[in-house]
Amino acid sequence: MSDIQLKKDASDRNAIASSVAEGLRGALPIEIRAMIRANRLNEHTAGVSLGYLQGNIVILPADHAMDFFRFCQRNPKPCPLIGVSDTGNPRLPTLGQDVDIRTDISLYNVYRDGELIEQVTDIVDLWRDDFVTFVLGCSFSFEEALMSEGINMRHIEQNKTVAMYQTNIPTTAAGPFSGGMVVSMRPLTPSDAIRAVEITSRFHQAHGTPVHFGDASAIGIVDLAKPDWGEVPEIHDDEIPVFWACGVTPQTAVRNARPPICITHAPGRMLITDIRGVDAGRS
């Protein structure tokens, strides 16, 4: 096959992926959850159901739940709590119609003793009667507000997972839970960055304002072209990196705490709730 044909095939695949992603932007959360539950949607959720609050998840045994709850209280920037389940109940009625945390994430990380041992597409067989689910707000939730003001979200345009990095920004420990903050990064022009601060200041349930601008090395990031999670970002000459606290932070804390089992979302694969983003912006 010629190079020209290979390039055309790649272009066609990208066009199809872009078309599918565009169709998911206006889908209702209950429709997206049904697709995920049926294994018909296995991608990241950036740009999906725009306007609705997305959530990071952490599932822990009940005897670790109070320490983790304190960790979230002490670190509201990376860990803005939007929901906590009853012990042993996989349903989260305060976050949406028919939400089942065992099936409604497209990919789960399973940690044992702090080590990531596998990724699975549902946790029905892993579910336990002592599990407590925590749902934390996600920065994907304010992206519609930024885009509606003309601020470009390149990772959504390119159908990519936003770049995420481990930093040296400390969190406040609670029991065994501790570790550096994880951040997500979006490249913006200086004028758009200023406007983004104003807009995201309303979204306390979705990490709020950025935690850092500019020099990535100042927060312990060695190379922006090598994100710890997500995909390599494209940064233009007239742009600066803008960093928001990220709900992947608890996964660092879990590795340090080493509970016997913990289940989280795979970075970029969020729970889509029925809560409108504007409501999150009023918190």
Confidence (pLDDT) at 24: 82
The two three-digit tokens of residue 169, written as one number: 């920004």
- Residue 243 included in any domain: yes
- Residue 5 included in any domain: no
Question: DSSP secondary-structure letter at 100?
Answer: B
56 within 8 A of 136, measured Cβ to Cβ: yes
Let me know how many helices (H) and strands (E) the chain has, helices first. Answer: 8, 11
Burial (Cβ within 10 Å: 0-12, 13-18, ≥19) of residue 148:
exposed
Model confidence, pTM: 0.84
Point out the least confidently predicted range of 10-14, 101-105, 258-262.
10-14
- Residue 63 included in any domain: yes
Q: Which residues contact 107 (CB under 8 A, 6 or more apart)?
A: 42, 119, 120, 121, 265, 266, 269
- Residue 33 included in any domain: yes
Confidence (pLDDT) at 166: 97
- Residue 9 included in any domain: no
Is 3 a residue whose pLDDT tops 60?
no
61 within 8 A of 104, measured Cβ to Cβ: no
- Residue 10 included in any domain: no
| Continuous H helices in 44-88 | 62-74
- Residue 68 included in any domain: yes
Domain count along the chain: 1
Give the domain CATH number at 51: 3.30.2040.10
Share of the chain above pLDDT 70, in %: 90
Query: Confidence band (pLDDT; 50, 70, 90) for 252?
Result: very high
Q: How far is CA 132 from CA 101, 114, 176, 270, in A?
A: 11, 17, 17, 17
The Cα 280–Cα 145 span in angstroms is 11
Q: What is the pLDDT of residues 130-169, one digit of tens each?
A: 999 999 998 877 888 898 889 989 988 888 889 999 999 9
- Domain hosting residue 276, numbered range: 29-280
- Residue 44 included in any domain: yes
